[in-house]
Amino acid sequence: MIIRILLYLWLVLLMQNPVKASNELSGQPLKVGFLMGGPVTDFGWNQSHNDGRIYLEKHMAGKVKTTFAESVPESSEAGRVMERMIAQGAKVIFATSYGYLDSMLKVAARHPDVVFMQINRYSEQKRANIGVYFPYYFEPLYSAGIVAARVTKTHKLGFIVGHVVPNVLAGVNAFTLGARSVNPGVKVNLVCTNSWNDPATEAEATKALVESGADVITSILDSSLTVCNAAAKLSTYCIGAAYDLNKQVPKTWLTGQSWNYGPLYVRVVEQVINGSWKPVTQYYTAKEGYAQLASFGSTVPQAVRGEAALAFKKITTSKVAVFAGPIKDSSGKLRIPAGKTADNHCIEQMNWVVSGVEGALTK
């Protein structure tokens, strides 16, 4: 009878927190898997996540063992990769690309004892083992917009994106709002490549934007490196997202947004290990330090650096909100009334661009 009671209590513990119980009972490091949408040496989105993975493994040496798969398509292949990781013992999986959610939902239903973390993708479907992490990278881009608006001579800025999904449009809108806060007449020409990674199209889009008069080019792609290199060849300033490219294009780099994922990954994994992890959508603002304002290029005047840095400091200390009304979209429709600030739901569903953005929203 005592043995049956003990067995029953053990099963209850396992059901309440299977990852924590399994890890503690085995005495082995917790295995954590990462799916990347592109190569981990891209000087961009994927490399920043891999840097975070390396930080996690070093910071939690002996407690965590990580694995990763790079260049995983946003298709059913993502589900097969997750299954392979689970078969190899992974108890936590980070899906670092927007399009992995559908596959994750299916795999998570089959493996309730595994914790899944999806980036930047809210879902109406809930699972007891799926969490979402939303670092708001649009906040540094607001300050980057200020730099662009101060440097431009033509008052025309170019912006190249891979897909017009909500978190990307939030970045475009924040950049434009920042630019127009100091230069109301500036225009942002938006181009969508319909791919996170298409170097040929990115280079051609950069050339076309410069020929149309844009003298600062910004991008949100897997990596801004191709765009920045193309802009440098045309003696045009660039602003990047995801990674600091100051060393790669020192003569034409202005600033941008960069990631610091390591501490965030440690935070999540420690929650899994100590049993405090919950299947929620967690938003992280700039004050958390995961999305940062990148370094300033050597050509950025000191006064402009100070202005942009001060604006970012006000955002990180909650003295200024990027999406504070009144804000109208490009058609003149009032999207955020005066006295109101966009909440998380508004940002995660954003499918419009602010006044000052030109270009079709290609789906």
277 and 300 both lie in a single domain: no
127 and 147 both lie in a single domain: no
Range of the domain at 54: 2-136+261-288
Q: What is the pLDDT of residue 22?
A: 52
Residues 281, 71 contacting (CB under 8 angstroms): no
271 and 125 both lie in a single domain: yes
247 and 353 both lie in a single domain: yes
Phi, psi dihedral angles at 76 (to 5 degrees):
-60, -20
Q: What is the pLDDT of residue 21?
A: 38
95: CB partners within 8 A, 6+ apart: 35, 78, 82, 101, 103, 104, 116, 117, 118, 119
pLDDT along the chain (363 residues), means of 10: 45 44 65 97 97 98 97 96 98 96 96 96 83 95 98 98 94 98 98 96 98 98 98 98 97 98 98 96 94 98 98 95 97 96 93 94 59
> What is the number of structural domains in the chain?
2
215: CB partners within 8 A, 6+ apart: 151, 152, 153, 154, 156, 157, 236, 237
Can you tell me the distance from the alpha carbon of 144 to that of 140, in angstroms, rounded to the nearest whole number? Answer: 6
- Give me the CATH number covering residue 149: 3.40.50.2300
227 and 283 both lie in a single domain: no
Residues 20, 63 contacting (CB under 8 angstroms): no
Q: What is the pLDDT of residue 15?
A: 40
Q: Is the pTM of this model over 0.85?
A: yes
Q: What is the pLDDT of residue 123?
A: 73
- Whose tokens are 């592109």? That residue is 38
58 and 125 both lie in a single domain: yes
Q: What is the pLDDT of residue 162?
A: 95
Please indicate, yes or no, if residue 363 is contained in any of the structural domains. Answer: no
Q: What is the pLDDT of residue 361?
A: 74
201 and 347 both lie in a single domain: yes
236 and 279 both lie in a single domain: no
Q: What is the pLDDT of residue 127?
A: 86
Please indicate, yes or no, if residue 329 is contained in any of the structural domains. Answer: yes
Q: What is the pLDDT of residue 12?
A: 40
CA atoms within 13 A on the CB side of 110: 10
Q: What is the pLDDT of residue 13?
A: 43
222 and 132 both lie in a single domain: no
